[in-house]
């Protein structure tokens, strides 16, 4: 596939054939992998790229003058350029490699924290993943920051009127998810950014789900920071990226100290590199970054609207088949939501439901989904989640419903 070429028609079966793991069986049944919101599987293109680099082109980057180092550096920095295009960033220098979305958020929170004064406010929403809650709690504990919460409505959408009322002269940061990992809600992140900037606050968007299943156009969103993680984006674990506006990154102090992030080191002074290298201390995740670049380019070949329509059709097919089942409660039904089906089964614990479904080869997630405040808001102690990806098929959706009904029958 040439750079920039887009597949004109979307064929989920052709996509599925590119994922070796999806041909295996689990408990004697064909694998139906619906745990994509936790971590996605890897296509042959990514697997082959990692193997090829390890077999024929690996060395440490930036610091060598030999051929292997130059080749590895070129592939490493090309991956940064690919991710910048994927996010529609203005420049590759606005993309910082991190070990994942969690580290990216911590990087921003740590930098902001050095200037936080007691009483300064951080706004998050009730639907946030713990990775976009706990770093701000650290600022509450250590710097006296105040955390304010955007309410979630009964349908799973954000209360935007309440959000507007929360903004004030002490608001320093608004940190919200692009797409909820539990509800599937796709938030109006451009409007969230506009209102925050009007109040003089910065905006961080957690795009760990949105980068995969929504539209991660950072220029259209207008955010100061956008976070993604590789393992949900069909790339390896241990890699993520932080996009920042040029002026926002320049204003951040270093997060960690070591090699690569410096200009000079003397006995009595240190000067630091400019972004992005200022935030990339030590030997970076070279193979993982190359894998993320390949995964981003692989995903970009497919028409995003067609992929979203396919994923939503699978979600809707499952919901339609379960329509009228009084023992099932679906969490999150906001208009335009992504293809995440999170639910509670009357009289059954979510963990038991997931384990029984696994007997039929269906992989789903159960628990709090790293979103405990949201579970409390929705009135559940745990829930089960099926999350669809572009390689899932209508047969997967049917197998999910069949397994769920069988699981429910264990408790009748």
Residues serving a catalytic function are 370
Residue 349 has φ and ψ, to the nearest 5°, of: -80, 145
Give CA–CA dist 37/14, Å, rounded: 21
Give CA–CA dist 402/313, Å, rounded: 17
Task: Taking the CA atoms of 247, 213, 228 and 75 in sequence, report the sign of the dihedral they define.
Answer: negative
Query: Do strands 121-125 and 171-177 pair parallel, antiparallel, or not at all (unpaired)?
Result: parallel
Distances (CA, A) of 293 to 55, 215, 276, 308, 403: 18, 17, 16, 21, 36
Distances (CA, A) of 409 to 321, 382, 384, 404, 412: 16, 19, 16, 9, 5
Residues whose CB falls within 8 Å of the CB of residue 247, separated by 6 or more in sequence, listed in order: none
Residues present in the chain in total = 412
Judge contact between 286 and 61, C-beta under 8 A: yes
């Amino acid at each position: 596939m040439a750079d920039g070429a887009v597949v004109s028609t979307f064929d989920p079966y052709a996509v599925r054939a590119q994922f070796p793991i999806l041909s295996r069986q689990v408990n004697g049944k064909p694998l139906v992998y619906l745990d994509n919101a936790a971590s996605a599987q890897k296509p042959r293109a990514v697997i082959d790229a990692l193997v090829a680099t390890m077999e024929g082109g690996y060395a440490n980057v930036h610091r060598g003058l030999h051929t292997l180092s130059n080749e590895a550096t070129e592939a490493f920095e090309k991956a940064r350029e690919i991710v910048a295009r994927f996010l529609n960033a203005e420049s590759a220098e606005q993309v910082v490699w991190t070990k994942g979305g969690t580290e990216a958020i911590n990087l921003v929170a740590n930098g902001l924290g050095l200037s936080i004064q007691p009483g300064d406010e951080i706004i998050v929403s009730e639907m946030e993943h713990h990775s976009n809650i706990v770093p701000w709690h650290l600022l509450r504990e250590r710097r006296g920051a105040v955390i304010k919460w955007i309410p979630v409505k009964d349908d799973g959408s954000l209360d935007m009127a309440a959000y507007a009322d929360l903004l004030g002269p002490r608001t320093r940061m608004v940190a919200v998810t692009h797409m909820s990992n539990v509800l599937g809600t796709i938030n109006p992140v451009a409007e969230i950014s506009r209102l925050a900037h009007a109040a003089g606050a910065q905006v961080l968007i957690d795009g760990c789900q949105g980068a995969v299943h929504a539209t991660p156009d950072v220029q259209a969103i207008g955010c100061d920071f956008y976070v993604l993680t590789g393992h949900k984006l069909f790339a390896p674990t241990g890699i993520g990226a932080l996009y920042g506006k040029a002026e926002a990154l320049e204003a951040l102090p270093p997060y960690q100290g070591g090699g690569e992030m410096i200009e000079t080191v003397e006995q009595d002074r240190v000067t630091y590199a400019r972004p992005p290298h200022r935030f990339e201390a030590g030997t970076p995740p070279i193979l993982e970054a190359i894998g993320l670049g390949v995964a981003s380019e692989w995903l970009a070949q497919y028409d995003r609207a067609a992929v979203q329509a396919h994923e939503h059709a699978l979600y809707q097919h499952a919901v339609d088949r379960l329509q009228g089942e009084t023992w099932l409660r679906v969490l999150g039904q906001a208009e335009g939501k992504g293809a995440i089906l999170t639910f509670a089964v009357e009289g059954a614990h979510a963990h038991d439901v997931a384990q029984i479904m696994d007997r039929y080869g269906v992989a789903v997630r159960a628990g709090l989904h790293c979103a405990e405040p949201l579970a409390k808001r929705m009135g559940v102690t745990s829930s089960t989640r099926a999350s669809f990806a572009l390689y899932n098929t209508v047969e997967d959706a049917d197998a999910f419903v069949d397994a769920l009904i069988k699981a429910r029958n264990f408790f009748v």
